[in-house]
Structure 1
Amino acid sequence: MKTYIWIGIAGALGALLRTGIGVLIPHETGFPIATFSVNMIGTFLLCFLVTGVVRKISAATHFQDAITTGFLGSFTTFSALSMETVLLIENGELVMGALYIILSIIGGLAVGLLGFHFGQKKVAE
């Protein structure tokens, strides 16, 4: 039960931070930069933490789950990516929608690889 409470608390914090970033970053260009940014940051952090820091410090399972599933799971958002892409397409912005999907997939893979790379370096230290 303790694990679920920690996941819930961390999830609330991740959702609040994502919402705050969405408010702070204007999206007047039509490109959903706030969601793109949190997804890239969250992907990097998840890969970095899971590969390196969490393994190295042997954190308690409830702490690991709170950070990965709770905080980063609510901080990043596939549903917003999907909704924003559909809205771009519905508004006739096909190129922007395609660009958003392509950058999100390629960017996510790239920052994930970076996260794994730097996380593994942390383990080796």
Structure 2
Amino acid sequence: MNTLFVMIGGFFGAISRYALGEWVYTNNGFPLGTLLINFIGCFLLGWFLTFVGQKNNISTNTTLFIGTGFIGSFTTFSTFSAETIALLQQGLFMLGLLYVLASIILGLLLSYLGYKLALKEGDVT
């Protein structure tokens, strides 16, 4: 049954990633869509896992559906890696470096901000 929740969440996450990736304009080969998708995912997962950790009444199925399924398939490390290699192969070394640094530094910052937001919301309730 757990697999079913991950699968359904994964379906919706993958469709959302594709739709957002198609919607976001990419300029000069810079993978803005993937960057934005991964930033959103970092923030959401940081918030969600903290929120779930504070609440005892969140079911395992909900956590698997949202955290593992939806957010797990919404974000994409493999595409990030492939796009970084493509930038480097095109000789766009500075753009590739910017992409890697922005992904890591801002991704961690957004995960932290999601975590802090969930903690703040937990204080209110």
Which range, TM-score by smaller chain? over 0.9
Over residues 48-82 of structure 1, what are the superposed CA-to-partner deviations in whole Å (9 max), with x where a residue is unaligned? 01112563362110111110000000000100100
Residues 35 and 77, structure 1, Cα contact 8 Å, conserved in 2: yes
**Which residue matches 2:119?**
120
CA distance in 1, matches of 2:28, 2:10: 29
**Which residue matches 1:95?**
94
CA distance in 1, matches of 2:121, 2:52: 7
Amino acid at match of 2:69: G
Whether 2:33 is the aligned partner of 1:34: answer yes
CA distance in 2, matches of 1:29, 1:36: 14
Question: 1:18-97, aligned counterparts within 5 Å?
Answer: 18-53=17-52, 55-56=54-55, 58-97=57-96
CA distance in 1, matches of 2:53, 2:65: 12
SS of the counterpart of 1:69? helix
Aligned length: 124
Residues 54 and 64, structure 1, Cα contact 8 Å, conserved in 2: no
Residues 53 and 119, structure 1, Cα contact 8 Å, conserved in 2: no
Which 5+ residue runs of structure 1 have no aligned equivalent? none
CA distance in 1, matches of 2:56, 2:122: 9
CA distance in 2, matches of 1:78, 1:118: 24
Amino acid at match of 1:39: N
Residues 53 and 122, structure 1, Cα contact 8 Å, conserved in 2: no
Measure how far apart 1:87 and its partner are.
Answer: 0.2
Residues 52 and 63, structure 2, Cα contact 8 Å, conserved in 1: no
**Which residue matches 2:12?**
13
CA RMSD of aligned residues (A): 1.2
1:54/1:14 Cα in 2 relative to 1: closer, same or farther (>3 Å)? farther
Q: Percent identity?
A: 38
Residues 44 and 114, structure 1, Cα contact 8 Å, conserved in 2: yes
Residues 3 and 63, structure 1, Cα contact 8 Å, conserved in 2: no
Measure how far apart 1:91 and its partner are.
Answer: 0.5
Measure how far apart 1:3 and its partner are.
Answer: 1.4
If the length of structure 2 is used for normalisation, what is the TM-score? 0.94
